[in-house]
Amino acid sequence: MIISSISQGLLWGILGLGIYLTFRILNFPDMTTEGSFPLGGAVAVTMMNMGVHPLLATLCGALSGCLAGLITGLLYTKGKIPTILAGILVMTSSNSLMLMIMGRANLGLLDTQRLQDLLPFSTVTNLLLVGLLAVVSVIGALIYFLYTKLGQAYIATGDNRDMAKSFGINTDRMEVMGLVVSNGLIALAGALVSQQDGYADVSKGIGVIVIGLASIIIGEVLYSTGLTLLERLIAIVVGSIFYQFLITAVIALGFNTNYLKLFSAIVLATCLMVPVLKKKFFKGVTLSR
């Protein structure tokens, strides 16, 4: 169960990394997440059932998320539709698109080769290795990208849009690019999670944005401020693994699994209140002295 929680946490950590690009860097509340995550799984699972190589199917799943992010970005930057509404429109339309792709509400992977089946070790070890390889690759690519001139322009857009524009940065292009990359990673996570679960489902996206945000917030709560970019990205993955351990503990205690989304919301709300509670606590300590 420990290894299973770690492997699940690694894959869900990619979701957290994708949300971090928009939620933390761009300060963009992107609701496309709940559409691009199951869309990536739907595309990958459908292609694998058609006999496509698992790696190619997974990459195509990620590309479907990039397309969803592109549409959201264009609706926001060119159509001048508010950020949340643009994401909701794409998220809603993704549901119908998934039904068109799979031809049903869910699709399994019975007797179909998956990414973990390409490795020669035991099933549990293969799942862990797939998660590790995926996370290391994603973090490495993000570090490389964010330290390029293009990546720095992207960060500057999130820090101060008006100032970035005054420096000649095309902020609209940066925001569209961020949504494309973010939702590509989110869809990649959806494709990998669907392979680990053995099926894709149109309802898998419900509440995933809360899980991703929980990974980010838990990582920030566990570690102190002043982290480097690499340490911050690793903290998100660690937060995701910690969150999966919490879920495993809740299930082990016999709680009804139908209420896991409620538990996720409570965990996120609690973590968001930690800085405020700390401030009040230490303020009280100071006054008592």
Burial 171-184 (b: 16+ CB within 10 A, else e): bbebbbbbbbbbbb
The encoded tokens of residue 264 equal: 């996720």
Q: Whole-model pTM?
A: 0.92
Cα separation, 131 vs 204, whole angstroms:
19
Q: 175 and 76 in contact (C-beta within 8 Å)?
A: yes
Show Cβ contacts of residue 183 under 8 Å, excluding neighbours closer than 6 positions.
18, 30, 32, 33, 36, 65, 66, 68, 69, 72
C-alpha atoms less than 13 angstroms from C-alpha of 186 in its C-beta half-sphere: 37
Q: 109 and 198 in contact (C-beta within 8 Å)?
A: yes
pLDDT at 275 over 70: no
Cα separation, 75 vs 84, whole angstroms:
11
Amino acid, single-letter form, for residue 26? L
* Tens-digit pLDDT profile for residues 101-141: 999 999 999 888 899 989 888 888 899 999 999 999 999 99
pLDDT at 97 over 90: yes
* Tens-digit pLDDT profile for residues 189-219: 999 999 999 999 999 988 899 889 888 988 8
Give me the residue spans of the domains in the chain: 1-201
* Tens-digit pLDDT profile for residues 38-92: 999 999 999 999 999 999 999 999 999 999 999 999 999 999 999 899 999 999 9
